[in-house]
Structure 1
Amino acid sequence: MLRVLIIAQCALLSGVLVAEVSAADPGSRPNVLLIVVDDLNDWVGCLPAHFRANGYETAGAGKIFHHYQNHPSSWDDFWPSKNLQFPPTHVPAKEYQPAFDRKPRPRNWYMDFNWGPLDKVVEETGDWMSMKFVSQKLQEKRDPSADSGQAKPFFLACGIYRPHVPWFVPRKFFDMFPPDRIQLPPSKADDQPVAAGPTQLREVDAR
């Protein structure tokens, strides 16, 4: 999944095939998208930087570039900020971590494959707040009274994070699917995905 994600982001944001910049193996270039964006900006320009350099007002929110690798100079405005790509995610690490510390698993898989209900409303989630920012930007552009006659064309991007792992979401979405009503398909103990073991060890109520 990581490989496909990075390839898609590289291609979309640079217009250059990943194979052209030797970025097909994330393991050999851990900050691959940041490297691609920085290396290619003077060559072909990343998408928002290209628009901005050609007179556009650029604004965005959420996961446009890869994890924590936003490109600040590409934006006139960005939410939460040009240097902070991700909005708050409300991942309750202190609440769920103790149960995982008692289990034999690679520690980094806590964040990758953990899940749980949050006592938050949808309007408090990062994706909702990103979409709210973008919606407000669109409303500003539609407001005739805000046009001073010098309005620039604009480029607007919104990166939706979910259903990316970890699956911490408002409790209402868990309540929609009671466990006693879910019928799991048959599976073989020796034929599970690599994440199944550590994930299965998770205590449903770590509190």
Structure 2
Amino acid sequence: MSKASNILFLMTDQHRVDTLGAYGNRLAATPVLDELARTGTRFDRWYTPTAICTPARASLLTGQAPFRHKVLANHERNVGYLEDLPDGQFTFSEALRDKGYNCGLIGKWHIGNHKRAADLGFDGPDLPGWHNPVENEDYLAYLSENGLPPYEISDRVRGVLPNGGPGNLLAARLHQPVEATFEYYLATRAIELLERYAADAEESGTPFFLELSFYGPHLPYIVPNEYFDMFDPEQIELPKSISEDFVGKPPVQKNYSAHWTFDTMPLAVSRKLIAVYWGYVALIDKQIGRVIEAMERLGLTGDTAVFFTCDHGEFTGSHRLHDKGPAMYEDIYRTPGLLRVPGAPAGIVRTEFVSLMDATATILELAGIDPSLAVDSRSLMPLVRGEEVDWQEDIVCEFHGHHFPYPQRMLRNDRYKLVVNPDSVNELYDLEIDPDELVNGYEQAGMAEIRASMMRRLYALLVERGDNFYHWMTSMYEVGDVLHDPTLSGLDESTYQK
């Protein structure tokens, strides 16, 4: 197998796996990403380490789990956590720079507050924030240079908050041609940087890493007419979990449903929201296609590995929720993950549990850098090569809060999911008989053995990682052998036998 020296990393934000044709959506308009899956590897169990933008993106950059890098919340809703990675923190971008790579980022940064992408080795315009920064000077200059009209919207979709005020904007019709959209602008800037990097490669053999990171399809779904109306809402099948009653679930989920105003909007509006969301995905797929075509035109396809993934998923009405939050459902934790490496087999489908963080070690290996520098990451290259691999049979995810601190840990294996919620009821789902996660089986007598074995397994993995969440579990649950003083006192010999 030939080794790719260049890397194109395509990323979206808040992207459901079931919006892509490659993952089974028969109505999807995603031919570019479907072709990437057909010619590369599709990962069917690709999970985010945490379903929130900044911590997930920091985990990708560092190859570290959120509890380790400690950037645990988005700046806009930060409730007291670190806002930036510390000086001296390992990042793959700086490692690539040290290796002689050109390293570029076009689009969403959103990793911290004060530090920018340029501070960590990336070329590209400075584009901070969580949503399309339509007032950014580089975007406005792009519109002006091309005689394109400014941002303007109508047909706003929003519900009513519990306090009677207007809810968050969920969608709107954009009165700009496609060429003026922020997504088109980002693809254009990515092509320009790709052309510059291709010239450097031709002249001096300099390899490149280029990340194109779209802000969408994160809500609000703001797209022009042809995408706003692309899908007929009557053809949209509402998710089964729209029947969620929150019985036996942590109360915070019902509170979040009220915050996202689901019950204040008719189901017809929910169908329209999903239709517009799919349209947003189609718009992004089209722009990715422009970049792929440029890569082919520049003769880069044969030595460029191409990734596609996102930071986390989106509810779009599932469980009567929108956005993401303190609920560890598949809708926001399982995400798309595609990887095509020149010379690797085409059409591979892997069902191992892999993480967004595993992209970090993979990037390093492709660049000829020690992948162990990404300490919570494992290279995906053996899976891409189609090898039989001894791989972990489950995955741990974590959450620390968004609007308020809210610690959670999740263990997902082939059939079951355990979620530990210290301030509330724990959750246990049998995904074989309840794939929509509607019935919390944690207290069911028939689940006692599964509950106990998964609790012990989660505990052991957290201890192995050094995630101090395990201290709560030590005193609250049967977790098996404990090899430390759970009181941390060191003063009572009866609590700890050497």
Same fold (TM over 0.5): yes
Cα distance between partner residues in 2 of 1:163 and 1:84: 17
Q: Indicate yes or no: 2:175 matched with 1:119.
A: yes
Distance change >3 Å, CA 84–CA 108, structure 1 → 2: farther
Q: CA deviation at 1:167?
A: 0.8
Distance change >3 Å, CA 128–CA 19, structure 1 → 2: same
Cα distance between partner residues in 2 of 1:67 and 1:20: 15
Q: Secondary structure at the match of 2:52?
A: helix
- The one-letter code sitting in structure 2 at the alignment partner of 1:110 is N
Choose which of 77, 95, 106 in structure 2 pairs with 1:61. Answer: 106
Cα distance between partner residues in 1 of 2:168 and 2:103: 36
Q: Secondary structure at the match of 2:188?
A: helix
Distance change >3 Å, CA 103–CA 159, structure 1 → 2: same
Q: CA deviation at 1:53?
A: 4.2
Choose which of 159, 163, 181 in structure 1 pairs with 2:217. Answer: 163
Cα distance between partner residues in 2 of 1:127 and 1:33: 30
- The one-letter code sitting in structure 2 at the alignment partner of 1:170 is P
Distance change >3 Å, CA 157–CA 91, structure 1 → 2: same
Larger radius of gyration: 2
Give aligned-pair identity as a percent. Answer: 19
Q: Indicate yes or no: 2:219 matched with 1:153.
A: no
Equivalent residue for 1:16? 64
Gaps of 5+ in 2: 1-13, 15-47, 136-149, 247-253, 273-498
Cα distance between partner residues in 1 of 2:201 and 2:176: 36
Kept in 2, the 8 Å contact 1:23–1:29? The answer is no
Q: Indicate yes or no: 2:263 matched with 1:197.
A: yes
Q: Secondary structure at the match of 1:4?
A: coil
Matched ranges for 1:134-153 at <5 A: 134-143=190-199, 147=203, 149=204, 152-153=206-207
1:19-52 deviations in Å (ceiling 9; x for gaps): 22344566995486742x2x1x4132x2323323
More strand by share: 2
- The one-letter code sitting in structure 2 at the alignment partner of 1:43 is Q
Q: Indicate yes or no: 2:120 matched with 1:74.
A: yes
More helix by share: 1
Cα distance between partner residues in 2 of 1:63 and 1:33: 19
Q: CA deviation at 1:75?
A: 4.0
Q: CA deviation at 1:117?
A: 1.6
* TM-score where L is the length of structure 1: 0.64
Cα distance between partner residues in 2 of 1:145 and 1:47: 20
Gaps of 5+ in 1: none
Cα distance between partner residues in 1 of 2:103 and 2:209: 5
Cα distance between partner residues in 1 of 2:236 and 2:127: 42
Distance change >3 Å, CA 108–CA 161, structure 1 → 2: farther
Equivalent residue for 2:168? 110
Matched ranges for 1:177-188 at <5 A: 177-179=231-233
Q: How many residues align?
A: 190
Cα distance between partner residues in 2 of 1:127 and 1:92: 15
Equivalent residue for 1:48? 93
Q: CA deviation at 1:11?
A: 1.5
Q: CA deviation at 1:61?
A: 0.8
Report the aligned-residue RMSD. 4.3
Equivalent residue for 2:185? 129
Q: CA deviation at 1:121?
A: 2.5
* TM-score where L is the length of structure 2: 0.31
Cα distance between partner residues in 2 of 1:142 and 1:64: 23
- The one-letter code sitting in structure 2 at the alignment partner of 1:56 is Y
